[in-house]
Amino acid sequence: MIDAAEQVFSEHGLDAAVDEMARVAGVVTRKLYRRFPTEDALISELVPHILSELFGTGHFGLSAPGGDGLAEVLFATGARQASHRGCISRLWNDDKTRLPKDEYRRMVHRLLADASAHRRIREDVTLTDIDSQWAKRANGGNNSRHHRQQLAAGSWPP
């Protein structure tokens, strides 16, 4: 059911119909409501699922050699956000997932330090700069691959 909700929210945003989620999941609407009595309960279950995927990306990035992990994680996270446009505002603004998000930020901070040490990113780029890019996307900013490449190009050293 979570995968179906993820798909429907991605296609239709947070205003997606519960009936459509049930149809995609192959269950009757009552069953969906038994498991998730409110839409908020469903979204609250989905956000940690997305964060878990981002953690996997972050751990993969931490294992990348030569400071290359940050770029991989930023592009993968941006792509993930683009595919979950319906849930993106909740992803970064949900107080219930504060601890995992804080851990993810610590991962990105380590990746940023590694990229900076290997001169893979301009030394003046900070975690706040990266956070501001996520905030722009969470508030409806452009999240196309081309746009992400342009933003990244301004952060990488000449």
HEC sequence for 123-149: CCCCHHHHHHHHHHHHCCCCCCHHHHH
Predicted TM-score (pTM) of the model is 0.72
What is the Cα–Cα distance from 118 to 138, expressed in whole angstroms? 30
Residues 106 and 147 reside in one and the same domain: yes
pLDDT surpassing 80 at residue 154: no
Give the domain extent around 53.
46-155
Residues 33 and 53 reside in one and the same domain: no
Residues 58 and 120 reside in one and the same domain: yes
Residues 132 and 56 reside in one and the same domain: yes
What single-letter DSSP state applies at residue 38?
S
If you average pLDDT over every residue of the chain, what do you get? 80
pLDDT at 62: 93
Residues 62 and 9 reside in one and the same domain: no
Say how many domains are in the chain.
2
Q: Which is more confidently placed, 110 or 11?
A: 110
Residues 85 and 14 reside in one and the same domain: no
pLDDT surpassing 90 at residue 112: yes
- Which tens digit of pLDDT belongs to each residue from 21-75? 889 999 998 998 899 888 778 888 888 888 888 889 999 999 999 999 998 898 8
Residues 72 and 89 reside in one and the same domain: yes
> In this structure, what CATH number is given to the domain that contains residue 14?
1.10.10.60
pLDDT at 85: 66
Residues 6 and 69 reside in one and the same domain: no
- Which tens digit of pLDDT belongs to each residue from 100-109? 888 888 999 9
pLDDT at 26: 92
Residues 53 and 32 reside in one and the same domain: no
Residues 80 and 19 reside in one and the same domain: no
Residues 128 and 77 reside in one and the same domain: yes
Residues 65 and 88 reside in one and the same domain: yes
